């Protein structure tokens, strides 16, 4: 695809040779004459040394070397769109593999792709253009929307609904029982977990992540939210829209997370915590039970506290250690 065509596709301006044919997207330090790359922030210093045929840069980039460039407000986001254009994902053939087992009453769209050794429970509904990878299990009364990608060996328990264009990576377990027990007569007895899980559209859930069903009611994940590998979402959690959660983070039961919150890796969140919209929790933080993280606040440490306070305490400890 030529530079000129890519500029039209992105609706951005270009400078230099618009007829260069771009074959791939590559990192700045590895790109060659047929590759397009991107640069922003500190990486702009490397742009002059790169062999890339074209570089996506911010609008204010000084093109002193008269290179072929695309100017975009967000070079990284533009590069993501170019990657999808030049490196399109393989589209599986529609149809149901002969080894798959589809229960009576399940409805699979004609354009869906059901892989080898998949099992689909009674009353389940699989939407148009959705693919279910080899060895996955889709439980009874599960609803999966259009254009979803369920990678191999995913388990979706009964009574789960998933919106459109959602991606579940290998090893995901959606709808397992929450960790609910009551002490009776000196022993723990299971509190029946009879609720549901509802996952919105354009959600992505990483490998080996777990989303537990509600004890009563609903565990929900809003549109556009992204969960990294090995994230655990406990029963009755309500995660808003466009939330980002890094790997190995765990949410206890009843946690509420507002839209656009950002949660770092290895964060532990206690029962019934409320994390408001656009709050940020730094990696390794711990939030105690029933605490509230206010909207837009940046928190760090265990117990989590405002970043400025956390940094001051680190400075004090550092001075004490030197005495």
Active site residue ranges:
235
What is the SS3 assignment for 199?
strand
Give the C-alpha separation, 66 to 63, whole Å.
5
Separation in Å, CA 29 to CA 16, 18, 60, 156: 20, 22, 22, 42
User: Among residues 258, 286, 259, 292, which one has the least CA distance to residue 273?
Assistant: 292
Sorted by sequence, the CB contacts under 8 Å of residue 9 that are 6+ apart come out as 1, 81, 82, 85
User: Among residues 141, 129, 205, 146, which one has the least CA distance to residue 174?
Assistant: 205
User: Among residues 51, 64, 49, 61, which one has the least CA distance to residue 20?
Assistant: 51
Report strand pairing: 181-184 vs 187-190.
antiparallel
Q: Tokens for 94? A: 């529609």
Helix 3-10 to helix 75-86 angle, to the nearest 10 degrees?
120
Contact criterion met (CB below 8 Å) for 184 and 160 = no
Contact criterion met (CB below 8 Å) for 212 and 233 = yes
Q: Tokens for 168? A: 């579940």
Instruction: Measure CA of the first residue to CA of the last residue in the chain; give whole Å.
Output: 63
What phi, psi does 318 have (nearest 5°)?
Answer: -65, -45
């Amino acid at each position: 695809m030529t530079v000129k065509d890519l500029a039209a596709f992105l609706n951005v301006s270009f400078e230099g040779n618009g007829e260069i044919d771009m074959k791939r997207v590559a990192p700045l330090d590895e790109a060659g004459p047929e590759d397009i790359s991107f640069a922003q922030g500190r990486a702009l210093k490397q742009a002059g040394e790169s062999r890339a045929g074209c570089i996506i840069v911010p609008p204010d980039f000084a093109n002193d070397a008269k290179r072929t460039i695309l100017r975009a407000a967000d070079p990284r986001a533009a590069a993501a769109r170019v990657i999808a254009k030049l490196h399109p994902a393989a589209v599986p053939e529609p149809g149901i593999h002969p080894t798959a087992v589809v229960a009576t009453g399940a409805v699979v769209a004609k354009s869906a792709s059901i892989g080898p050794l998949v099992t689909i429970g009674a009353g389940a509904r699989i939407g148009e253009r959705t693919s279910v990878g080899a060895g996955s299990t889709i439980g009874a009364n599960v609803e999966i929307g259009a254009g979803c990608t369920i990678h191999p060996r995913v388990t979706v328990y009964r009574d789960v609904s998933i919106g459109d264009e959602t991606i579940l990576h290998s090893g995901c377990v959606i709808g397992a029982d929450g960790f609910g027990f009551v002490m009776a007569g000196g022993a723990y007895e299971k509190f029946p977990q009879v609720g549901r899980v509802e996952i919105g559209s354009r959600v992505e859930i990483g490998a080996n992540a777990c989303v537990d069903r509600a004890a009563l009611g609903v565990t929900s994940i809003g549109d556009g939210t992204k969960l990294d590998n090995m994230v655990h979402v406990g029963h009755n959690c309500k995660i808003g829209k466009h939330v980002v959660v890094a790997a190995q983070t765990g949410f206890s039961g009843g946690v509420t997370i507002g839209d656009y919150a950002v949660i770092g890796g290895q964060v532990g969140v206690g029962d019934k915590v409320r994390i408001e919209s656009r709050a940020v929790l730094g990696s390794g933080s711990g939030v105690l039970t029933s605490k509230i993280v206010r909207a837009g606040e940046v928190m760090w440490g265990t117990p989590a506290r405002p970043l400025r306070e956390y940094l001051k305490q680190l400075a004090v400890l550092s001075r004490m250690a030197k005495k």
